[in-house]
Chain A
Amino acid sequence: MNGTIEAPTIEYALLAPMLVVFGAAIVGVLVEAFAPRYLRSAIHLPLTLLSLAGAFALAVWQALKGVPTKPAAMGAVAVDGPALFIWGTILVLAFVSVLLIKDEEHFVGSAAALPGSAEEEQSLVERAAHTEVYPLLLFAVGGMLLFPAANDLLVAFVALEVMSLPLYLLCGLARRRRLLSQEAAVKYFLLGAFSSAFFLYGTALLYGYAGSVDLAKINLALGSVGGQDTLLYIGAAMLGVGLLFKIGAAPFQAWKPDVYQGSPTPITALMASGTLVAAFGALLRVFWVGLGGLDWDWRPVFYGVAILTMVVGAILAITQTDIKRMLAYSSIAHGGFLLVGVIATGSAAQNTAALSGLLFYLVAYGFTTVGAFAVVTMVRDAGGEAWHLSRWAGLGKRSPLLAGTFAFFLLAFAGIPLTSGFFGKYAVFQAAVSGGALPLVIVGVVASAVAAFFYVRVIVLMFFSDPAADGPSVVLPSRGTAAVVGIAALATVVLGVFPQPLLDLAHSAAQSLFVR
Chain B
Amino acid sequence: MELYVPILVLAVLAAGFAVFSVGIAPFTGPKRWNRAKLDAYECGIEPTPQPVGGGRFPLKYMITAMLFIVFDIEIIFLYPWAVAFDRLGVFGLVEMVLFIVTVLVAYAYVWRRRGLDWD
Contact = CB atoms under 8 A, between A and B. Distances in A.
B115 to A, nearest CB: 10
B102 A5 contact: no
Contacts of B87: 1-5
Contacts of B20: none
Contacts of B111: 33
Given A3-B87, A5-B88, A26 B112 contact: no
B46 to A, nearest CB: 21
Interface in B83-119: 84, 86-92, 102, 105-106, 108-109, 111-113
Contacts of A33: 105, 108-109, 111-113
Interface SS of chain A: loop
Interface string A18-53: 000000001001101110000000000000000000
A29 B88 contact: no
A125 interface: no
Given A32-B113, A34-B112, A26 B88 contact: no
A7 interface: yes
B108 A4 contact: no
Contacts of A32: 109, 112-113
Contacts, number: 39
A61 to B, nearest CB: 24
A8 B88 CA distance: 10
Nearest to B107: A33
Nearest to A135: B109
Given A33-B111, A34-B112, A26 B89 contact: no
Contacts of B113: 32-33
Given A32-B113, A33-B113, A7 B88 contact: yes
Contacts of B91: 7-8
A3 B84 CA distance: 10
A2 B113 CA distance: 45
Interface string A170-183: 00000000000000
Contact of B105 (A2, A3, A30, A112): A30
A32 B106 CA distance: 10
What is the size category of the interface that chain B forms with chain A?
Answer: 10 to 19
Nearest to B86: A4
A33 B105 CA distance: 9
Contacts of B109: 29-30, 32-33
A105 B106 CA distance: 27
Contacts of A7: 88-92
Contacts of B105: 26, 29-30, 33
Contact of B108 (A1, A2, A5, A34): A34
A30 B109 CA distance: 7
Given A26-B102, A30-B105, A5 B84 contact: yes
A433 B48 CA distance: 65
Contacts of B90: 7
A64 B59 CA distance: 51
A87 B3 CA distance: 51
Nearest to A32: B109
Contacts of A8: 91
Contacts of B102: 26
Contacts of A30: 105, 108-109
B100 to A, nearest CB: 13
Interface string B47-70: 000000000000100000000000
Interface string A341-361: 000000000000000000000
A33 B109 CA distance: 5
Contacts of A34: 108, 112
A381 to B, nearest CB: 29
A4 B89 contact: yes
> Of residues B59, B84, B87, B90, which shows the largest number of chain A Cβ atoms within 10 Å of its Cβ?
B87
B69 to A, nearest CB: 13
Interface string A481-505: 0000000000000000000000000
Contacts of B84: 5
> Of residues B91, B92, B102, which shows the largest number of chain A Cβ atoms within 10 Å of its Cβ?
B91
B41 to A, nearest CB: 24
A427 B112 CA distance: 52
A32 B111 CA distance: 11
> Of residues B59, B88, B109, B112, which shows the largest number of chain A Cβ atoms within 10 Å of its Cβ?
B109
Nearest to A27: B105
Nearest to A9: B91
28 contacts: A1-B87, A2-B87, A4-B86, A4-B88, A4-B89, A5-B87, A5-B88, A5-B92, A7-B88, A7-B89, A7-B90, A7-B92, A8-B91, A26-B102, A26-B105, A29-B108, A29-B109, A30-B105, A30-B108, A30-B109, A32-B109, A32-B112, A32-B113, A33-B105, A33-B109, A33-B113, A34-B108, A34-B112
The 8 residue pairs across chains A and B that have the minimum distance between CB atoms: A7-B91, A33-B112, A33-B109, A33-B108, A5-B87, A4-B87, A29-B109, A4-B89
Interface of A: 1-5, 7-8, 26, 29-30, 32-34, 112
Given A2-B87, A7-B92, A32-B109, 7 more contacts: A5-B89, A8-B91, A29-B109, A30-B105, A32-B112, A32-B113, A33-B108
Interface of B: 59, 84, 86-92, 102, 105-106, 108-109, 111-113
